Chain A
Amino acid sequence: MNATTVVPQLVQILRTLVMTGYSTEHSISGVSDPFLQVQILRLLRILGRNHEESSETMNDLLAQVATNTDTSRNAGNAVLFETVLTIMDTRSAAGLRVLAVNILGRFLLNNDKNIRYVALTSLLRMVQSDHSAVQRHRPTVVECLREPDASLSRRALELSLALVNSSNVRAMTQELQSFLESCPPDLRADCASGILLAAERFAPTKRWHIDTILRVLTTAGTHVRDDAVANLTQLIGGAQELHAYSVRRLYSALAEDISQQPLVQVAAWCIGEYGDLLLEGSCEETEPLQVKEEEVLALLEKVLQSHMSLPATRGYALTALMKLSTRLRGDNNRIRQVVSIYGSCVDVELQQRAVEYNTLFRKYDHMRAAILEKMPLVERGGTQDEEAKESKEAQLSEAALVSTEPPASKLLDLLDLLDSSSGAAQPPPPLEPSPGGTLGHLLDLPCASPAPASVPNLRVFEREGLQLNLSFVRPPETPALLLITVTAVNTSGADVTHFVCQAAVPKSCQLQLQAPSGDTVPAQGGLPVTQLLRIFNPNKAPLRLKLRLTYHHLGQSVQEIFEVNNLPAETWQ
């Protein structure tokens, strides 16, 4: 006796039961022996699973049961439900499956909560295999989102999220967001991450995507996942045309409420990066918003001081303030004040940042613009750009070191560290402080005035508008050390690209060439490219310096090698 012989017999029994059998003692409210019917259907389900022949034998019967059962009472609904489950699990005909989905749809409209719950659960199981059929019932499912009963709304939420596709994404997101505003707290995290995921997969436009994420952050900011901030900053960074729009929206949102940490972090980052766009004036996509510099600074200071801000948020705000020092047109006294206050902050990370930025103001003002310029788009997972930024910050702390032994080995270790970390997938917010190895040195930085730059600057090269200047610093604590800053300025009408400067010194001296601030010298006297040379000359040998430049300018590839002849004596004596 195997499935092929048993199934027809069962089918026969069930058929008789449904059509003719009626006995008062076995029946419940007009349905003859529902317990037996359900058991037979269950057995048929087990036998018909993955078995074509049996499934075919059952087809007619299932259709018959589905249509003939009286559904006014629970017993009938129970049998119908079992039939639907059997249709779903066996290899039934397509028409039968559509019938099953329709039955479930009818269940959804039933007043009885239990039946609706059962329907939602089964539809969730069917959504993978019969997606289009389930889509037809989407409006009813969305209705169920509004149920006060938590178990029903949870099921409805899961099903709604499974039903989102590219054609209905706008409407569905609208519904889901209004649900997010009113739903019980334990569903919030799921709902928020569901909306963000759906937005990521089906966003029709970047602007809509940004709007959606913004709305989710304002409504349920505390419940979003940790990488939402990183995703949003990356998204905004990539949408060039929407920078002005995003920064305005974020500014207004931040002005209203600074308690939602992810929102504050993203807003602070944006204001820092695109502060100039914020102050510019009108943007046609939002209402005209007149923002004054003072207001922006005040807002960032408020974030810094608020007890609701997490340390990470404070870090974002401080860095944003620093970036604004190059973006705003006013003087930087207020910013410098704030930065110096935080130089003695209890939080070590904030303190480190503040001290770094302080030094940037005092000693390396000429590099400030280059370091704080707009960030290139960061790939997810951390890449070259991020490492370039990290290495810039590393140099900053390196340059600030006034220790006696030249930290040549440290620099090499640093570079090795950065090289080896290129393989690791780390998506940190692209504003990480420099590696902690140099922390100790930074903290005992004497806040003395900068070393006397008594050596005059020197222009060593000029060709077709590209000028190369050298400026010299002899730190008094290390007489053997000479710091040369090479600055390349371009006054011509065309950009200079692929600019590389290399140097050579006599064998008695040691040279370290640090990475330049960039390799493009923009035209019309734009942001100059700077590069730091460290020359260690313990024997006070006469200094000779040979420079080699290679770059592209005016459609030509240029290579220049020359010796700097007129080095002043103070550079090596």
Chain B
Amino acid sequence: MQFMLLFSRQGKLRLQKWYVSLSDREKKKITREIVQTILARKPKMCSFLEWRDLKIVYKRYASLYFCCAIEDQENELITLEIIHRYVELLDKYFGSVCELDIIFNFEKAYFILDEFLLGGEVQETSKKNVLKAIEQADLLQEEAETPRSVLEEIGLT
């Protein structure tokens, strides 16, 4: 996978993960083009399209478009599965996820994506493991946030 984009029906970008290095300007340009192309497509059309030398696989969940760009030799159908698995992970984590969840907790969305995909490839195929890893990370964060009195910090009491 070269990159993944999430954007709303109005064309606002909610999440972008790039697995290739490009300049900021290029990224913006590509994003704009792809968003325009996909929003122009009718609902009944096929989920795959060719764009430059890449294949774009996209799927619409409620008001969000999930879009991945893969290379020529990759399997489009399994990419659809990858997108679906990601949505399931988000759903499990947030409990019935909607666009607002992603807007307000975007850093969590990125963490989950990074647990699931690494360098554009699937690194953990077990749903349970991904979620467990996220939970542990959350726990660490909470521990760090809860205020402890000075005495507790030293170890007395």
Contact = CB atoms under 8 A, between A and B. Distances in A.
B46 A151 contact: yes
A51 B128 CA distance: 38
Nearest to A73: B81
Interface in B37-66: 44-50
Contact of A75 (B47, B50, B81, B126): B81
B76 A74 contact: no
A25 B76 contact: no
B125 A114 contact: no
Contacts of B77: 74, 77-78, 81, 114-115, 118
A85 B81 CA distance: 18
Contact of B125 (A36, A118, A149, A151): A36
A528 B122 CA distance: 86
Interface residues of B, number: 24
B80 A82 contact: no
A142 B73 CA distance: 26
B81 A78 contact: yes
Given A38-B78, A114-B76, A151 B127 contact: no
A198 interface: no
Contact of B126 (A25, A74, A79): A25
Nearest to B80: A74
Contacts of B49: 151
A26 B126 contact: yes
B81 A34 contact: yes
Given A25-B127, A26-B125, A114 B48 contact: yes
Q: Which of B45, B47, B121, B127 has the most CB of A within 10 A?
A: B45
A25 B81 contact: no
Nearest to B129: A25
Interface in A1-47: 23, 25-26, 28, 33-36, 38-39, 42
Interface in A77-123: 77-79, 81-82, 85, 113-118
A87 to B, nearest CB: 14
Contact of B80 (A114, A116, A148): A114
The interface residues of chain A, by DSSP majority, are classed as helix
B128 A25 contact: yes
Contacts of A117: 46, 48
A77 B47 CA distance: 15
A437 B82 CA distance: 71
Contact of A38 (B47, B75, B126): B75
A36 B47 CA distance: 23
A148 B45 CA distance: 9
B50 A151 contact: yes
Contacts of A39: 121-122
Contacts of B45: 113, 149-151
B6 to A, nearest CB: 20
B138 to A, nearest CB: 19
A35 B122 contact: yes
Contacts of A149: 44-46
A79 B119 CA distance: 22
A74 B59 CA distance: 13
A350 interface: no
A572 B128 CA distance: 115
A152 interface: yes
Given A26-B125, A85-B75, A152 B81 contact: no
Contacts of B46: 113-114, 116-117, 149, 151-152
Interface string A149-184: 111100000000000000000000000000000000
A431 B115 CA distance: 72
Which among B48, B75, B78, B121 has the highest number of chain A CB atoms within 10 Å?
A: B78
Contacts of A113: 44-47
Contacts of B50: 151
| Residue of B81, B85, B121 with highest tally of chain A CB at under 10 A | B81
B125 A74 contact: no
Contacts of B48: 114, 117-118, 151
Contacts of A75: 81
B74 to A, nearest CB: 8
Interface string B76-94: 1110111011000000000
B81 A82 contact: no
Contacts of A28: 81, 85
Nearest to A89: B73
Nearest to A116: B46
A492 B10 CA distance: 89
Interface string B120-134: 011001111100000
Interface in A119-157: 148-152
A241 B85 CA distance: 68
Nearest to B42: A149
Given A74-B77, A78-B81, A35 B125 contact: yes
B45 to A, nearest CB: 5
Contacts of A151: 45-46, 48-50
22 contacts: A23-B126, A25-B127, A25-B128, A26-B125, A33-B125, A34-B78, A35-B125, A39-B122, A74-B80, A79-B78, A81-B78, A82-B75, A113-B44, A113-B46, A114-B47, A117-B46, A118-B76, A148-B44, A149-B44, A151-B46, A151-B48, A152-B46
Given A150-B45, A151-B45, 10 more contacts: A74-B77, A77-B77, A78-B75, A81-B78, A82-B75, A115-B77, A118-B77, A148-B44, A151-B46, A151-B50
Nearest 7 Cβ contacts at the A-B interface: A78-B77, A78-B78, A25-B128, A113-B46, A35-B125, A25-B126, A35-B122
Interface of A: 23, 25-26, 28, 33-36, 38-39, 42, 74-75, 77-79, 81-82, 85, 113-118, 148-152
